[in-house]
Structure formats: C-alpha cells, structure tokens
Amino acid sequence: MPLFGRSYSEIVTDTLSDLANNTNITRISPGAKARSILDAVSKRIEEQYDIFDLNLARAFVSSAKGEYLNLIGALVGASRLPSEAANVDSDLQAIKFYVDTGTFGDINGGNPFLIEAGTAISTKANNNGIIYRVSVPATAQAGASQVWVSVEANAPGEESNLATGSLAYHSFTGYTDYLNESLKVTNIHPIRNGKNFESDTNFRYRIVNAFLEGEAANETAIRLASLSAAGVADVLTIRHYRGIGTFGVIVRAVTPTVSQSLLDEVEIRVREVQGLGSKGYVRSVNETGVSITTQVVYRKTLTTDEYTLIEQGLEDTISEHIHGLDWNESFSINQLVSRMFDVSPEISNLGTTPGKPLQEVFLYKPSRLRDKRVRQTLLGDYTPEYDERVIVEPNITSPIVFTRKFNSVVR
C-alpha cells in the first residue's frame, strides 16, 4: 500500500481545477496543447510518487526486501545467513553401514575395513539422486555388523533433506565381497538440517532482535546461541530452573534422540552469552519411547517380496508419524492407524481384536534415578508433558513388529 502516493488521475484532476480557477487558460480539453503538456507532466509526477514510496518502504525493516534488507542488517551488525549443507555426525546414530546377516569380517575375509572419507551415499543407484559423502573415515570392525558414519550433503539447501530410509546406495568397494553388494547403507532417522539462503522473514526477525542478541544473559541471546549449534531443531528456555540465578535450556535435535555431543556443544555456546551470577543447565527433551506390535490382515495371498515391501512401508509410516511429533504433541492412535491403512490397498484390517487395531503399545520412560527405562502399557492416546517428546523406542532391537494373517491363518 502506498504511503504518500497519488495517482495520475488525481494529479490531472487537481491540476485542471487549478488551471480553471486561477489562470486564463481555458482550452484544456483532451487534445489541446495545455492538456497534452499537463498529461505528460502528471505521468512523471506519478512516477516520482511511486519511486518515493518505494524508497521509503525500503528504509523500514518491515517492508525492505533483498539487498535493501541486507543494508539495514549491516547497520546493526547482522548479516544474512548463507545456505548450509545437511550433515549428520556419527554420534547422532542416524546413518549406518551394515550387513543383513553375519559380521563385517564375513564379507571381507575375516578382516576389518576402512570406509574412507568421500565415499558417496545416494538415494538412487550409480550416484544419482541426492548424494551425501562420508565426512570422517569409519572403521568397520570384523566382529561388528553395523557402523555409524558422519556425512554431509553434496549440495547445500533444503533440497538435500531426506525422510527415513531414503539413502540406500553407496560407492564403497573396499571389501572382498563387494560384487555381491553385501554391504548395505541406510538412514534410520530423517535428515532435516539443510538450510536455504536465509529468507527475508527470518532475517527481519534477527535484525529486530539484534540488540537483545548482543546483550548477554537475556532469553533471546541464550535461545539464539543454542539454536546456532548444528543439529538443534528447537530449544525451550526455563527461568529459575534450579532456583534464583539459574535457567534451563531443553534441547530438541533434528534427529529423534539427542546425543551427548550435541548437548556439550549447546552448553559451550550458552556459556558464551550467560551473564555473571547466572548459571545455565542444558539437557535434552524427555524422550518417551513407543513400541508397537500388531497383526496385518491382507485381502489376499501375496509374494514374500510384496509382504516385505508393504510391512517396510508400514514401519516407515509409523516412524515418520511418531518422529514428526513435536514436544508436548499428543500421540493419537487413530491418526496413526489412518496413515497405516493408506500404505497399501492390500491391507484389509489391523489387529486381532475388533476396535483395537494395535495389539500392544508400550511406553518406555526413564526411571526416577534415570538409570533404566521403565515399560508401561498404553491403553489409549498419550499426551506428553511440556518438556517431553514421543519417539520410537531406540533401546530395543525391534520396536515395531508385525504378524501376518490371511483367511484366518497366521503366517
């Protein structure tokens, strides 16, 4: 909306009125010389109004865009954040090389092997699709069956972000059985920390809060410092966390679980902005695990590969639904079941009891001493606390289990 703008018709109308009332010029109808000059000048004046409005708008944070917003940011010492390539550290246990059966030694003559930095991992065969590369060499021990790796996307930006199970191909051939492609790779968690060039909206927020950010020990500075650690999805700050002079920072990672290395990184950054006489405590969001067992009833007999494909889709759907929940967001069984039925038209029903599509649902919570996980049976929906998040239980081998049924025969 223009601030002081006037349209061409408004300018012409007012000017014609002035000429008629204050001068002896009477031939001002369309086609007359005076009218032609007036029309030309009025158009130029309208353009100047537009330019003035545009330049004035560029001077305000709320309306400036692009390079003009960058210039305002420079006045307060803020610069637009560049795009970032998605990356995952091995401590987050999101991407792994593994073997279906046996150990790494079984596919390499009984010896360990080194997965070198630069090894490509992709969403499609022959290094097509979205490509990541191993950023830190990882040793596949002869007696192990999986090894977690650190990776970084080839290209920056959100286009490299991935859903669970998207990475399935790799270029590594440094083991004896490579012709049989017995070494597998996958990402068991989504990867979502790739960032595009900072938007005008986000940059405006940082410009407005630049002075608060520059001060130490205020909530804005602590929050922005925490969010600057790679791998942090969101944080919750709590005043007087352990009494006067203390505050708490609760961290949620881009992966379902929060690693100790990420908490250490956040703590370092918080220390840089906390003030004298205040002490910050950094911890992860309370992670309540879920495990699910149910029966899948099929409309007809399928091949083993078809069963496997459908059940893998069900498992991915369950994981994506649960891991997509924010903290304090309810886990709804009906919403989950609705998504499960969408996986395949071959699914006739779920569960063994009418009205109970999920046979067993267990919650896993830390004990009071936080030295073990306590299992509880979930009978309905679950609403977590303000600092709690529901995830797929990471501490059991098979948190999602299916049995099959067709024509009342369990297979």
* Residue 327, SS3 per DSSP: coil
194 or 16: which leads in pLDDT: 194
* Alpha carbons 156 and 160: distance in angstroms, whole number: 7
Please state, in angstroms and as integers, the Cα–Cα distance from residue 50 to each residue in 4, 7, 14, 38, following that order: 9, 9, 18, 18
| Residue owning tokens 């018709």 | 9
User: Cβ atoms within 10 A of the Cβ of 159, count?
Assistant: 12
Beta bridge pairs of residue 132: 121, 153
Whole-number percent of the chain with pLDDT over 90: 44
Find the mean pLDDT for residues 108-122: 95
**pLDDT tens digits, 245-254:** 899 999 998 8
**pLDDT tens digits, 119-171:** 999 999 888 899 999 999 999 999 999 999 999 999 999 899 988 889 999 99
Residue 65 corresponds to which amino acid? K
Find the mean pLDDT for residues 71-91: 84
Average the pLDDT over each of 119-133, 265-279, 308-322 and give the range with the smallest value: 265-279
* Alpha carbons 94 and 148: distance in angstroms, whole number: 7
**R_g (Cα) of the chain, nearest Å:** 31
Nearest to 79 by CA among 67, 90, 91, 87: 67
Question: Residue 401: exposed, middle, or buried by beta-carbon count in 10 A (0-12, 13-18, 19+)?
Answer: middle
**pLDDT tens digits, 31-69:** 777 778 777 887 888 777 777 666 665 667 777 788 878
The residues, any chain, with a CB within 8 Å of residue 32's CB and separated by 6 or more, are none
The answer, yes or no, to whether residue 408 has pLDDT greater than 70, is no
Average of per-residue pLDDT values in the chain:
86
Find the mean pLDDT for residues 376-405: 91
Question: Residue 82: exposed, middle, or buried by beta-carbon count in 10 A (0-12, 13-18, 19+)?
Answer: exposed
Q: What pLDDT was estimated at residue 209?
A: 72
Categorize the per-residue pLDDT at 205 as very low, low, confident or very high, splitting at 50, 70 and 90: confident
User: Cβ atoms within 10 A of the Cβ of 341, count?
Assistant: 15
Q: Which two tokens stand for residue 23?
A: 């001068």
Q: Tell me, what DSSP letter sits at residue 145?
A: S
Between the ranges 26-30, 120-124, 232-236, 269-273, where is the mean pLDDT highest? 120-124
Categorize the per-residue pLDDT at 411 as very low, low, confident or very high, splitting at 50, 70 and 90: very low
165: left (phi over 0), alpha (psi -120 to 50) or beta: left
Q: Which two tokens stand for residue 253?
A: 């990672």
Nearest to 222 by CA among 294, 270, 286: 270
Q: What pLDDT was estimated at residue 410?
A: 44
Categorize the per-residue pLDDT at 275 as very low, low, confident or very high, splitting at 50, 70 and 90: confident
The residues, any chain, with a CB within 8 Å of residue 214's CB and separated by 6 or more, are 77, 221
* Alpha carbons 229 and 224: distance in angstroms, whole number: 9
* Residue 288, SS3 per DSSP: strand
Distance of CA 301 to the CA centre of its chain: 39
The answer, yes or no, to whether residue 211 has pLDDT greater than 70, is no
Please state, in angstroms and as integers, the Cα–Cα distance from residue 321 to each residue in 117, 162, 199, 221, 350, following that order: 33, 15, 28, 33, 17
* Residue 21, SS3 per DSSP: helix
* Alpha carbons 387 and 328: distance in angstroms, whole number: 7
Q: What pLDDT was estimated at residue 1?
A: 45
**pLDDT tens digits, 214-223:** 555 678 888 8
Q: Are 378 and 363 in contact (CB under 8 A)?
A: yes
